[in-house]
A and B are shown apart, each in its own frame.
Chain A
Amino acid sequence: MSARLLIGLGLSGLFAAAGLASLLWTPHDVTSLNIAAKFAPSSADHLLGTDHFGRDILSMIMVGARTSIAVALLAVGIGMLGGVPLGLLAAATRGSLLDDVVMRFNDLVFAFPALLIAIMITAIVGPSAVNSIVAIGIFNIPVFARLVRAGALPLWTLDFVLSARVSGKGAARISVQHILPNLTNLLIVQGTIQFSLGILAEAGLSFVGLGAQPPTASWGRMLAESQTMIAFAPHLALIPGLAILLTVLCLNLAGEGLRDTLDPKSQKGAQQGAGRAAP
């Protein structure tokens, strides 16, 4: 296990634990306001101080972690559920019209950033956490479809797949029984990366007011609300900003560490010291 995997998993685990803990307990209730105690500095009662409504920032970060993780996790789930079958289908029918249709459809979705899709969705049904999950999820579909197709294509030319075909298995069964298990590592690594991008996208959406609506705490909205208060209460912006930065960084580290551990080819690269930037 590499150091970056340890650091990455450790710190993102910490945020996940904080998010989970917020389901049962937070130092203070984030939905009750205490205007008289606004902009309080760090103290024993409020470890990270309070915001412009007198809410406890530590509690809000914990609940925000839960919001971010839930949205990003579900969005990755949607992306995998939609993208993996599409990618397998495209690879199985490579070169056919169906392959073309699937991949051009992916290009089409890819052409719209998650933000644009989210604006489209919220314009129709109104802003909410569920809609941001759907928007980020839709954006994830072509990512996984491309990845699976690219990973599956070389597998189709290998001997064990050939022998499975000779033994009379159909393309669907081969895809599920022989191709998919060989793509697991790829999916885990990409899933981690997409997870971190999902957290970033959720923060972006709630920053512009399209994500989770108050009183649900969210890191992006905490940042947006603090914009005009940076001059006299910089911690309001710094704390959620750091939370987003650290989580995304750790998840990227974890993703790279996982790739190094799971993928022998890139492990060799890592040993040669060839650092690799996250996508």
Chain B
Amino acid sequence: MQSLFAATVVALFTVASTVAAQAQRADAIIGLQLEPPHLDPTSAAAGAIDQVLYANVFEGLTRFGPDGSVQPGLAASWTISDDGLSYTFQLREGVTFHDGTTFEASDVVFSLDRARAEDSTNAQKALFAGIVGVEALGDSSVRIDLAAPQGNFLFNLAWGDAVMVAPESIGDIKNLPIGTGAFRFEQWRRGDQISLSRNADYWGEAASLEAATFKFISEPTAAYAAMLAGDIDAFYSYPAPENLAQFERDPRFTVLSGNTEGETILAMNNQQAPFDDIRVRKAVSHAIDRQAIIDGAMFGYGTPIGSHFAPHNPDYVDLTANAAFDPALARDLLAQAGYAEGFSITLKLPPPSYARRGGEIIAAQLREVGIEAEISFLEWAQWLEQVFRGYDYGLTIVSHTEPMDINIYARPDYYFQYDNPDFQALIETLAVESDPAARSALLAQAQTTIAEDFVNGYLFQLALTSVVDAKLQGIWKDAPTQAVDLTGVRWAD
């Protein structure tokens, strides 16, 4: 009897210690909605590549901090010549790539020359357009010469498209990414997950996590189930806002709500009747109740916008009053434009819930002022073909997630086909202006111009909502760039 008691006690202790051991986890499983097409951030626009690899596996000379500030990366320090035309970077000592080769000035020359080469497939070649020469000054110093001073050159170098790669490992980078980061790439099970492990030879502060796995779950229902079941520890950019209230109430989880660069707009086909008439575009803008859309489609997550500009940007101008919700005014404007009886128009919606749900709400709001919006649900491929490339639409809803992308309004062949020479001249001036105050004024003018031309219906800034295990700390709240930086992520005791 006594021995049985003793055995039970021992068994209980074993169970208890196992539980304790499990509590001290050193790995994390992160859920993402989209899987990268390949693993080379320097040759594709897909944000999923940067989400997995930026800061974790690959690093650049400079890097983005969690707040979007530009911080030193592989360059420990830099000096800028008085004329602003030449940057000299001091590289960090003792940095090695994951395959054991050392990182030195020649790798910087190789990476930047490759990115700005004539035949480069870099998705953001404009970042490097101003560079006229990259020269190694010994092994640990590099000088970059510019054609003209650039106020945001260090910002440009922080992008995922500007990370450092090595000539030794470039051949197979799409399947076997070799960088300098705190994590090394382990394995990619296509359609399922990518696993990383801690880099023991990292030059900086070692990561707290020994291993990390990115799991790709595209279905919101599956993401919800996986999160509740504890199969994943964090879901970055959780796709179903309706579940967030439940996660918030559950003490096992934390919900992070932050900013993205995603301006969500009701795009109008500016060259097609009736939207070639500014009064009709203005009427549509006034017929929309943004708050109802944010509450109904995004369950309250999102910030109203009045122009194509992110509210957290210092140069933001609040223009929401310019297109305040006013159905009576909308009906008047339609009558002035000769559409007193209203009209019928297509509303083509891509898959994300902001578009599908937002579209149903907007259709109901437009019906109130006499506009009959015929909804059709499109897959992304159909949307790109019909709307983005084919201009075959009246209205559509989409979120533009690139940072600082107001210059798309200077492209008359862009899918909403806004053609205003004054605005195009304004953007040209902005491109060569480096004085911060003057840039700020120009940006304000740009925001106001497109808002007063009612180019599109400006709805809301997409929020970044991530669901995280309450004990997992350090996941970025905001998305200044596409990145899930795990170097500072750790389990709380």
Q: Do A and B bind each other?
A: yes
Produce 1/0 per residue, B337-372, CB < 8 A to A. 000000000000000000001011101100110000
Q: Which residues of B contact A231 (CB under 8 A)?
A: 224, 243, 246
Task: Count A/B pairs, Cβ under 8 Å.
Answer: 59
Closest residue on chain B to residue A35 by CB atoms: B296
Which among A52, A54, A127 is the interface contact of B242 at CB below 8 angstroms? A52
Tell me the count of chain A residues lying within 8 A, CB to CB, of chain B. Answer: 21
Contact A214/B221 with A126-B376, A228-B242, A232-B246 known, Cβ cut-off 8 Å: no
Contact A227/B292 with A31-B364, A52-B242, A215-B360 known, Cβ cut-off 8 Å: no
Contact in complex: B361, A215 (CB < 8 Å)? no
Interfacial residues of chain B within 213-248, with CB under 8 A of chain A in the complex: 220-221, 224, 240, 242-243, 245-246
Say yes or no for A25: interface residue by CB 8 A criterion.
no
Contact in complex: A127, B376 (CB < 8 Å)? yes
Contact A32/B246 with A213-B377, A227-B220, A228-B224 known, Cβ cut-off 8 Å: no
Q: Which residues of B contact A4 (CB under 8 A)?
A: none
Say yes or no for B295: interface residue by CB 8 A criterion.
yes
Closest residue on chain A to residue B221 by CB atoms: A227
Contact in complex: A228, B243 (CB < 8 Å)? yes
Which among A53, A209, A227 is the interface contact of B377 at CB below 8 angstroms? A209
Contact in complex: B361, A53 (CB < 8 Å)? yes
Contact A214/B242 with A35-B295, A53-B296 known, Cβ cut-off 8 Å: no
Which among B220, B296, B368, B375 is the interface contact of A213 at CB below 8 angstroms? B375
Residue among A31, A36, A209, A228 with the highest chain B CB neighbour number at 10 A: A228
Interface of B is mostly: helix
Q: Which residues of B contact A36 (CB under 8 A)?
A: 295
A127–B245 CA distance with the chains assembled, in angstroms = 33
A53–B365 CA distance with the chains assembled, in angstroms = 12
Interfacial residues of chain B within 293-312, with CB under 8 A of chain A in the complex: 295-296
A214–B356 CA distance with the chains assembled, in angstroms = 10
A38–B295 CA distance with the chains assembled, in angstroms = 10
Query: Chain A nearest CB: distance from B93 CB in Å?
Result: 51
Say yes or no for A229: interface residue by CB 8 A criterion.
yes
Q: Which residues of A contact B364 (CB under 8 A)?
A: 31-33, 53, 215
Say yes or no for B139: interface residue by CB 8 A criterion.
no
Contact in complex: B296, A33 (CB < 8 Å)? yes
Contact in complex: A228, B240 (CB < 8 Å)? yes
Interface of A is mostly: loop
A269–B64 CA distance with the chains assembled, in angstroms = 78
A54–B292 CA distance with the chains assembled, in angstroms = 11
Q: Which residues of A contact B368 (CB under 8 A)?
A: 32
Closest residue on chain A to residue B361 by CB atoms: A33
Q: Which residues of A contact B221 (CB under 8 A)?
A: 227-228
Q: Which residues of A contact B168 (CB under 8 A)?
A: none
Query: Chain A nearest CB: distance from B395 CB in Å?
Result: 14
A36–B295 CA distance with the chains assembled, in angstroms = 8
Interfacial residues of chain A within 18-60, with CB under 8 A of chain B in the complex: 31-33, 35-36, 38, 52-54
Q: Which residues of B contact A38 (CB under 8 A)?
A: 296
Q: Which residues of A contact B240 (CB under 8 A)?
A: 228
Contact in complex: B245, A232 (CB < 8 Å)? yes
Q: Which residues of A contact B292 (CB under 8 A)?
A: 33, 35
Contact in complex: B220, A228 (CB < 8 Å)? yes
Query: Chain B nearest CB: distance from A246 CB in Å?
Result: 24
Q: Which residues of B contact A228 (CB under 8 A)?
A: 220-221, 224, 240, 242-243
A33–B252 CA distance with the chains assembled, in angstroms = 34
Q: Which residues of B contact A33 (CB under 8 A)?
A: 292, 296, 360-361, 364
Say yes or no for B374: interface residue by CB 8 A criterion.
yes
Query: Chain A nearest CB: distance from B492 CB in Å?
Result: 26
Closest residue on chain B to residue A227 by CB atoms: B221
Contact A213/B246 with A35-B292, A53-B360, A228-B220 known, Cβ cut-off 8 Å: no
Interfacial residues of chain A within 40-87, with CB under 8 A of chain B in the complex: 52-54
Which among A128, A214, A229 is the interface contact of B360 at CB below 8 angstroms? A214
Closest residue on chain A to residue B351 by CB atoms: A209
Q: Which residues of A contact B246 (CB under 8 A)?
A: 231-232
A124–B255 CA distance with the chains assembled, in angstroms = 42
Contact in complex: A127, B377 (CB < 8 Å)? yes
A31–B361 CA distance with the chains assembled, in angstroms = 9
Produce 1/0 per residue, A184-227, CB < 8 A to B. 00000000000000000000000001000111000000000001
Query: Chain A nearest CB: distance from B48 CB in Å?
Result: 22
Q: Which residues of B contact A127 (CB under 8 A)?
A: 376-377
A54–B360 CA distance with the chains assembled, in angstroms = 12
Contact in complex: A213, B376 (CB < 8 Å)? yes
Contact in complex: A213, B374 (CB < 8 Å)? yes
Query: Chain B nearest CB: distance from A84 CB in Å?
Result: 34
A126–B348 CA distance with the chains assembled, in angstroms = 11
The contact sample of 10 A-B pairs, CB cut-off 8 A, is A35-B292, A35-B296, A127-B377, A213-B374, A215-B364, A215-B375, A227-B221, A228-B220, A228-B224, A232-B246
A33-B364, A126-B376, A228-B220 known; 20 other A-B pairs, CB under 8 Å? Answer: A35-B292, A35-B296, A35-B361, A38-B296, A52-B296, A52-B357, A53-B296, A53-B360, A53-B364, A54-B296, A127-B376, A213-B375, A213-B377, A214-B360, A214-B363, A214-B375, A215-B363, A227-B220, A228-B242, A229-B243
